[in-house]
Amino acid sequence: MKKIYSIFILILLFNTTQIMAQDKANILVLIHSDNGGTYKLAKEIAKGIESENKAISYIKLVKPSSNPELKGLPVATVEELGTYDGIAFGSPVYFGNISTGMSEFLSKTVALWTNHALEGMPATVFMSAGSGAGKELALQAFWNSLSVHGMVLVSNGIRGTEELNKAIPQGNSVLGITSMASLKDVERPSKGERYLAELQGRNFAKVALALRAIQPEKNIPVMENPENFNEILKRKNIILPQVPKPAGNYQPFVRSGNLVFINQVALKDGKIFYPGKLGIEVNEQQVKEATKVTMLNVISVLNEAVGGDLSRVKRCVQLTGIFNTKDDYTKHADLMNTASDLTVEIFGDKGKHARATLGASSIPVGSSVEIQAIFEVE
Ligand SMILES: Cc1cc2nc3c(=O)[nH]c(=O)nc-3n(C[C@H](O)[C@H](O)[C@H](O)COP(=O)(O)O)c2cc1C
């Protein structure tokens, strides 16, 4: 088992695309959140961490979320946990316990446990509750799991509680901050809960920095999951446009079994980008740019079809490019390469596809290009 794990780490090293800051304490803020309450606390924790100027925070989810507030956040892999200098864990309270999403993620950490990968790493916990019923049981439950990993659990004690407005219920606990989201007497997290979350983050960063200073240098870079296509988009500064609204009685995409069908034209910010016929109103360079706009629309719709988690894309099956050209035009393939190259740039081998290109005497709404795409998804 150990051997397999070591080989796996080696593969990760070879595939590394993002190196963590070497001279700083890299701290993961790992959360599950359904309605965003835990995320709100996570942002305060991260603010506290970053107030220590030698610490960097990375907020990541344990699983993809379709909540618009959380949709763009990266999803952590189990394998990357061992590469941080500390982890702040956040979860909603579910029946006096950690949430199912967090529990599922932790249940996948057996290989890390067997290999002592988290031993001696500092951890701290925070939770978003409803009424607060069983919140300390839940925090304690969090500690139980992390103790089995041998993590160094960093508590809050009564740090900062003298600053709390005692006239309203607050989610302070000696184990970690909570917020009581369903108590609507004030906006939640309350000012006091936010304050304690930030203090928790700052104190946690201090502990992580101190422990880092006495531990051997971790030269394991953070792995960017090569399948995490949303992260790849971010790294390449590729911004997906808003999903274009259908202009007729049809859906932006249809999923049938594991296949997703998408058709798009060169709509950008509500207008057609470089409209017209190639060789008359537009030139090849302009049509190529319109093709890129069209393919980005396709990927934006695809992103919606997989609930904001492009790692669920198994492959691009086929692209069909239709171009508004004169009858004697023959270089459709050159134009379409813009879309194909973009697809491979984002999805790697999974972006390689079968392809058809053809010319048309007109395309709806004056677009110079239309792309039909078929993707296989999980
Ligand atoms: C299955 C389930 C069980 C819950 N159990 C509790 C509980 O025992 N105590 C409590 O205070 N809130 C409980 N809640 C409420 C959530 O903890 C609360 O809505 C929390 O703010 C959600 O966090 P989020 O906004 O990050 O998703 C429960 C919610 C669900 C869905």
Residues 74/61, Cβ–Cβ less than 8 Å: yes
Is 179 found in the same domain as 56?
yes
What is the distance in A from the centroid of ligand 1 to the CA of 187? Answer: 17
Q: What is the mean pLDDT of residues 225-236?
A: 77
The pLDDT of residue 217: 65
The pLDDT of residue 5: 47
Residue owning the nearest CA to atom 4 of ligand 1: 94
CB within 8 Å of 200: residues ≥ 6 apart: 45, 48, 88, 124, 126, 156, 159, 176, 177
CB within 8 Å of 175: residues ≥ 6 apart: 125, 136, 139, 140, 142, 143, 155, 156
Is 212 found in the same domain as 313?
no
Total domains in the fold of the chain: 2
The pLDDT of residue 185: 80
Q: In whole angstroms, how far apart are CA 294 and each of 238, 271, 324, 333, 367?
A: 14, 12, 14, 16, 10
Is 137 found in the same domain as 191?
yes
237 part of a folded domain: no
Which CATH number belongs to the domain containing residue 93 in this structure? 3.40.50.360
The pLDDT of residue 157: 97
Q: In whole angstroms, how far apart are CA 109 and each of 62, 106, 118, 145, 226?
A: 12, 5, 10, 10, 20
Is 47 found in the same domain as 85?
yes
Is 305 found in the same domain as 215?
no
Is 270 found in the same domain as 180?
no
Domain span holding position 372: 253-377
Q: What is the mean pLDDT of residues 184-192?
A: 91
| Ligand 1 proximal residues by C-beta, below 6 Å | 33-38, 92-96, 128-135, 181
Q: Which of 225, 224, 377, 234 minimizes the C-alpha distance to 312?
A: 377
Q: Using the 8-state DSSP alphabet, how is residue 22 labeled?
A: T
Is 286 found in the same domain as 206?
no
Alpha helices in the chain (DSSP H): 2-14, 37-50, 100-107, 110-114, 135-148, 191-214, 229-235, 284-305, 332-347
DSSP calls for 182-242? T-TTS-SS-HHHHHHHHHHHHHHHHHHHHHHHHS-----PPPPPTT-HHHHHHHTT-PPPP
Q: pLDDT tens digit string along 97-107? A: 999 999 999 99
Residues 284/337, Cβ–Cβ less than 8 Å: no
239 part of a folded domain: no
The residues facing 178 across adjacent strands are 127
Which atom from ligand 1 is nearest to the alpha carbon of 37?
25
pLDDT category, 22, cuts 50, 70, 90? low
Q: What is the mean pLDDT of residues 23-50?
A: 95
Which atom from ligand 1 is nearest to the alpha carbon of 92?
23
pLDDT category, 182, cuts 50, 70, 90? very high
Domain final residue, candidates 182, 210, 226: 226
What is the distance in A from the centroid of ligand 1 to the CA of 184? Answer: 15
Residue owning the nearest CA to atom 3 of ligand 1: 94
The pLDDT of residue 12: 42
Q: What is the mean pLDDT of residues 329-335?
A: 96
Is 194 found in the same domain as 272?
no
What is the pTM (predicted TM-score) of this model?
A: 0.61
Residue 8 scores a pLDDT above 70: no
Q: What is the mean pLDDT of residues 266-290?
A: 95
Q: What is the mean pLDDT of residues 329-338?
A: 96
Domain final residue, candidates 209, 226, 243: 226
Is 175 found in the same domain as 55?
yes
Q: What is the mean pLDDT of residues 353-372?
A: 96
Which atom from ligand 1 is nearest to the alpha carbon of 91?
26
What is the distance in A from the centroid of ligand 1 to the CA of 29? Answer: 19
What is the distance in A from the centroid of ligand 1 to the CA of 308? Answer: 23
Residue owning the nearest CA to atom 9 of ligand 1: 133
Residue owning the nearest CA to atom 15 of ligand 1: 130
Residue 124 scores a pLDDT above 60: yes
Is 219 found in the same domain as 271?
no
pLDDT category, 235, cuts 50, 70, 90? confident
Q: What is the mean pLDDT of residues 207-212?
A: 96
Q: What is the CA radius of gyration of the chain?
A: 25
* Least confident range of 8-12, 28-32, 167-171, 366-370: 8-12
Q: What is the mean pLDDT of residues 118-131?
A: 97
